[in-house]
């Protein structure tokens, strides 16, 4: 692989599919990100066509370099095991094989929260932490990435812990705050209960908050009192693409 070519990161979401080549020395995009609407219905073949379009768009910058793809589902060995925000026909699909065959390049497919966690570990808020890191994305639901001494523990799905008889994300996700009109302090109370329970199970050395609401962390983080430091993410919406590209590059070695 030419040293002038960067790996490509692609983030598949329910509403948009986004991609960019990544400079792994700097941990940032090497070109302006391209976003294409997610096709409806978002079947495997339709989504793979969009991924191929993004690959073609960045062909000059990425050459035959590996591609990292994030997906909003549980993914084991490249196979999709759930489908919350995409077409149900994805369940059981070998996404890694499908996309690799479509684009003719090595592909790594991972859970979207896991990719964001890897991005924050190597280039963001968790880069100086050698212990156990929990990266939690607070949005429509709660995504989680658990990283132990630099190694990813994939598909933790900690947003679905049952706490006080509820699926945790139904009470503590940012969408719950918005839907119920909670004040920041009221929402912080729910986050305290959630992260307190997670701490009792895993004892992380650091908690990183991702998702769009991380930009307003000064409104709720001061109300939290946990054993571990809890800090906002630094890479914002770029974390998944950057983390996926890093994982793809590692897999190609």
Same domain? For 177 and 77 the reply is no
Low-confidence ranges of the chain (pLDDT < 70): 1-4
Do residues 104 and 130 share a domain?
no
Residues 35 and 106 in one domain: yes
The set of long-range contacts for 152-156, using a CB threshold of 8 Å and a minimum separation of 24, is: 152/114, 152/117, 152/118, 154/75, 154/76, 154/110, 154/111, 154/114, 155/74, 155/75, 155/76, 155/81, 155/111, 155/114
90 and 187 inside one domain: no
The confidence score (pLDDT) of residue 247 equals: 98
Q: Is residue 120 part of a domain?
A: no
Provide the domain limits for residue 98: 8-111
- Cα separation values, 214 from 139, 190, 194, 238, Å: 10, 16, 16, 13
**Number of structural domains in the chain:** 2
CA distances from 50 to 3, 47, 74, 145 (A): 26, 5, 21, 26
Report pLDDT for 114.
Answer: 98
Q: What is the pTM of this model?
A: 0.94
pLDDT tens per residue, range 89-114:
999 999 999 999 999 999 999 999 99
Residue 199: inside a domain: yes
Looking at the fold, whether 154 and 62 belong to one and the same domain comes out as no
> Which CATH number does the domain housing residue 131 bear?
3.30.420.40
On whether both 168 and 131 belong to a single domain, the answer is: yes
The two structure tokens encoding residue 19:
């991609």
Backbone angles phi, psi at 167, to 5 degrees: -65, 125
Q: Are 51 and 136 contained in the same domain?
A: no
In this structure, the answer to whether residues 83 and 132 fall within a common structural domain is: no
Q: What's residue 1's pLDDT? A: 39
Same domain, 162 and 218: yes
148 in the same domain as 81: no
């Amino acid at each position: 692989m030419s040293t002038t070519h960067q790996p490509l990161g692609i983030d598949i979401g329910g509403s948009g599919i986004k991609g960019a080549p990544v400079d792994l020395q700097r941990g940032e995009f090497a070109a302006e990100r391209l976003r294409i609407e997610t096709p409806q219905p978002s079947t495997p073949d339709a989504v793979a066509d969009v991924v191929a379009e993004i690959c073609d768009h960045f062909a000059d910058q990425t050459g035959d370099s590996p591609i990292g793809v994030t997906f909003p589902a549980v993914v084991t060995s490249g196979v999709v095991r759930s489908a919350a925000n995409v077409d149900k026909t994805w369940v059981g699909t070998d996404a890694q094989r499908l996309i690799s065959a479509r684009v003719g390049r090595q592909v790594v497919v991972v859970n979207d929260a896991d990719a964001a966690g890897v991005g924050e570990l190597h280039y963001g808020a968790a880069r100086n932490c050698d212990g156990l890191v929990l990266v939690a994305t607070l949005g429509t639901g709660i995504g989680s990435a658990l990283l132990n001494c630099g190694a990813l523990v994939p598909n933790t799905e900690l947003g679905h812990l049952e706490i006080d008889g509820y699926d945790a994300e139904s009470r503590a996700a940012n969408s719950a705050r918005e839907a119920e009109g909670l004040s920041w302090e009221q929402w912080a109370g729910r986050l305290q209960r959630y992260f307190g329970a997670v701490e009792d199970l895993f004892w992380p050395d650091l908690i990183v908050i991702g998702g769009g609401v991380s930009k307003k962390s000064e409104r709720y983080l001061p109300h939290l009192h946990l054993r571990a430091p809890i800090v906002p993410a630094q890479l914002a919406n770029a974390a998944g693409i950057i983390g996926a590209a890093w994982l793809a590059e590692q897999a190609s070695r």
